[in-house]
Amino acid sequence: MIGVLGAGAFGTALAIALARHGTPVALWARDPETVAAINHTHRAPRLPGATLPDTITASTDIARVARAETLLLATPMQSLHAVLSQVASPLTGQRVVACCKGIDVTDLTGPTGVIARAKPQAIAAILTGPSFADDIARGLPTALTLACADADAGWRLQRDLSTPTLRLYRSTDAIGAELGGALKNVIAIACGACIGIGLGDSARAALMTRGFAEMSRLATTLGARANTLAGLSGLGDLSLTCTSDLSRNYRFGLALGRGTTFDASLTVEGVKTAEAVTRLAARLGLDLPICRSVAEVSGGTVSVGDAITRLLNRPLKEE
Ligand SMILES: NC(=O)C1=CN([C@@H]2O[C@H](COP(=O)(O)OP(=O)(O)OC[C@H]3O[C@@H](n4cnc5c(N)ncnc54)[C@H](O)[C@@H]3O)[C@@H](O)[C@H]2O)C=CC1
Ligand SMILES: O=C(CO)COP(=O)(O)O
């Protein structure tokens, strides 16, 4: 039995993939309507079109779901600490796998840091990489990074969570994997804004490349390995998110660039992450101009046009 906290698009998609492969899944959702839809109609409101296997059972009882030996956390990043706080158990020795992407604006740590703070006796891991929930739910081939500082636990998680179409690569660099997944969303917003305002594909390629340099600068300063950033969780997810209209972060950026409105009910992790990154960079004395621009434009203090002018007018540098 695997427990999944969060019945949004990603939590539901992972539940479907695991259940199809023969693993029973208990899914926690906070609202009873979602639970009823899953249990009675095998449909999930956040993943329309998908039919859920009947070995997925949903519940509003977080304590029951949290008893599973392996727990996947699939709520948005900024709610992760609050959700873990609702679990009374210390989760001692249980494998707790964050499936969200971002940096907590309160304590400026990634998902495994939040798990360590809330449940220090749990084994924290992260599952991240290029993967749209719809693709996973449809059973299309997907490759992700499963990172856990505890190598033995990571090996077991890789074995238990891989399926014939969900291919997990193992790493012990949880910091690198979670920072790659968090930061690519910020760069995707920048790329969306660049395309939205009409700067074209060459400018987007420049932003992706210089954005990757910022991702690597921050992540390696915080202890990540450079080759983790070059893997699925970093470069892999950056490529997907900065180029696909299916990405909410990219589409949010497009709306900023076009000056149009964006559906506020959608999860856009890059906004808060840009804010957290800007504060982290100031604390660490790092220059991350693209991330800072995304924070300012998303926060409404600078226009897309002014941010671009400022980026282009920076002193010339060595690559
Ligand atoms: N949708 C996708 O394709 C992918 C999403 N992710 C990551 O998964 C995480 C979740 O994203 P999605 O599932 O797409 O979001 P979503 O917007 O589809 O669903 C979020 C779910 O979390 C619930 N939720 C929100 N705040 C909550 C709180 N305070 N307490 C309890 N539940 C709460 C909502 O009710 C909703 O069911 C994000 O960090 C995202 O970056 C990762 C890979 C792919
Ligand atoms: O993380 C994702 C793909 O790997 C999903 O991207 P969005 O959150 O931008 O939709």
Does a structural domain hold residue 318?
no
CATH code of the domain containing 251:
1.10.1040.10
DSSP label at residue 56: E
Closest ligand by atom to 273 CA:
1
Does a structural domain hold residue 236?
yes
Taking only the tens of pLDDT, the chain with its 319 residues reads 999 999 999 999 999 999 999 999 999 999 999 999 999 999 999 999 899 999 999 999 999 999 999 999 999 999 999 999 999 999 999 999 999 999 999 999 999 999 999 999 999 999 999 999 999 999 999 999 999 999 999 999 999 999 999 999 999 999 999 999 999 999 999 999 999 999 999 999 999 999 999 999 999 999 999 999 999 999 999 999 999 999 999 999 999 999 999 999 999 999 999 999 999 999 999 999 999 999 999 999 999 999 999 999 999 999 9
Q: Could you tell which of 145, 187, 191, 237 is best to mutate to test the pocket of ligand 2, judged by most ligand atoms within 8 Å of the CB?
A: 237
Helices 289-298 and 200-221: angle between axes, nearest 10 degrees: 110
CA-based nearest residue to 177, from 254, 256, 105, 124: 124
Confidence at residue 92, expressed as pLDDT on a 0 to 100 scale: 98
Q: Which of 172, 191, 216 is the last residue of a domain?
A: 172
The SS3 call for residue 138 is: coil
Does a structural domain hold residue 204?
yes
Domain count along the chain: 2
Confidence at residue 218, expressed as pLDDT on a 0 to 100 scale: 98
Task: Say if residue 257 carries a ligand binding annotation.
Answer: no
Beta bridge partners of 98: 73, 126
Residues 141 and 258 both lie in one domain: no
Q: Which of 144, 172, 200 is the last residue of a domain?
A: 172
Residues 298 and 212 both lie in one domain: yes
Confidence at residue 258, expressed as pLDDT on a 0 to 100 scale: 98
Residues 196 and 57 both lie in one domain: no
ipTM of the complex: 0.99
The SS3 call for residue 221 is: helix
Rounded distance between C-alpha atoms, residue 109 and residue 280, angstroms: 9
Does a structural domain hold residue 319?
no
Does a structural domain hold residue 72?
yes
Residues 196 and 156 both lie in one domain: no
pTM over 0.90: yes
Confidence at residue 229, expressed as pLDDT on a 0 to 100 scale: 98
Q: Does residue 46 line the site of ligand 1, with CB under 6 A?
A: yes
User: Which residues' Cβ are closer than 6 Å to ligand 2?
Assistant: 101, 130-132, 185, 188, 237, 240-241, 247-249, 269
Q: Are 183 and 291 in contact (CB under 8 A)?
A: yes
**Tokens standing for residue 114:** 């939040």
- In 149-297, where do the E strands start and end? 166-171
Residues 165 and 230 both lie in one domain: no
Does a structural domain hold residue 83?
yes
CATH code of the domain containing 112:
3.40.50.720
Residues 85 and 215 both lie in one domain: no
Rounded distance between C-alpha atoms, residue 126 and residue 144, angstroms: 10
Rounded distance between C-alpha atoms, residue 25 and residue 32, angstroms: 18
Known catalytic residue at 317: no
Q: Which domain range does residue 30 map to? A: 2-172
Residues 106 and 9 both lie in one domain: yes
Does a structural domain hold residue 42?
yes
Closest ligand by atom to 268 CA:
2
Q: Which of 172, 197, 226 is the last residue of a domain?
A: 172
- CA 267 to ligand 1 centroid distance, Å: 6
Residues 125 and 60 both lie in one domain: yes
Residues 6+ apart with CB under 8 A from 232: 128, 129, 130, 143, 144, 145, 169
